[in-house]
Amino acid sequence: MGFDGSRGPHAPGRPSLVLSVYLVGFLDLFAVSMVVPLLSRHIKLLGGSSTIAGLVGSVYGLLQLFSSTVIGSWSDVIGRWNVLLITLILSGFSYGLLGISSSIPLLILARIATGIFKHTQSILKALLSDLIPEHERPNVMGKFSAASSEFSVCGPPRLGAALALMAILLMASIHSKLNKPTEAKVKLH
């Protein structure tokens, strides 16, 4: 039975729900692709060694292993949408804590919270499985994986290029406004 109590490809609101799931998966891995490459550098800036950086990464993976069954069972009991919302909020707080961490213990605490609550991709796949009829699942799951993985692979370079282009356009706009001929300059010529 699906989220809305219906089953089948023509259930009302299904395309918008599926697109919402795709978008959340896409943004989830986009966030990860922004944080993970900088994590080791952040640990070293706080005075940690490469060993500490490795241990922090291992703690995250270990907690993911053990908390996944608890989060999965929890989503079966109270509902996938509710657990998705709760885990997204708690993951957001843990990423925020990671961003403001000024010591190794605070950074480790943030990674522990992320390791426990960062199960967005698993919950989204279970949610899609609930929403989509069995004969459509391979197609929908493949599109979900492609949409989610797109930004983790290509997102940072594209985002950097987009930001650089926006900066160039902004600078060109400012330059043209600063160097715009005024009426006084025109009258002198």
In a domain, 161, yes or no: no
Give the CA distances from residue 95 to residues 31, 41, 53, 92, in Å, rounded to whole numbers and listed in that order.
9, 16, 16, 5
What is the rounded CA–CA span in Å between residue 121 and residue 100?
25
In a domain, 116, yes or no: yes
What is the rounded CA–CA span in Å between residue 91 and residue 86?
8
139-183 pLDDT, tens digit per residue, is 888 888 887 776 666 656 666 566 566 666 666 666 566 666 555
64-117 pLDDT, tens digit per residue, is 999 999 999 999 999 888 898 899 899 888 988 988 889 999 999 999 999 999
pLDDT at residue 74 in the model: 93
- Find the domain containing 34 and state its range: 14-154
Verdict on whether the full-model pTM lies above 0.85: no
Number of domains making up the chain: 1
Q: Per the structure block, which two tokens stand in for 77? A: 């009991």
Among candidates 40, 39, 33, 25, which has minimal Cα distance to 155?
33
Q: Per the structure block, which two tokens stand in for 139? A: 């197609």
In a domain, 50, yes or no: yes
Residues 6+ away with beta carbon under 8 Å from 1: 7, 130
In a domain, 47, yes or no: yes
What is the rounded CA–CA span in Å between residue 117 and residue 87?
5
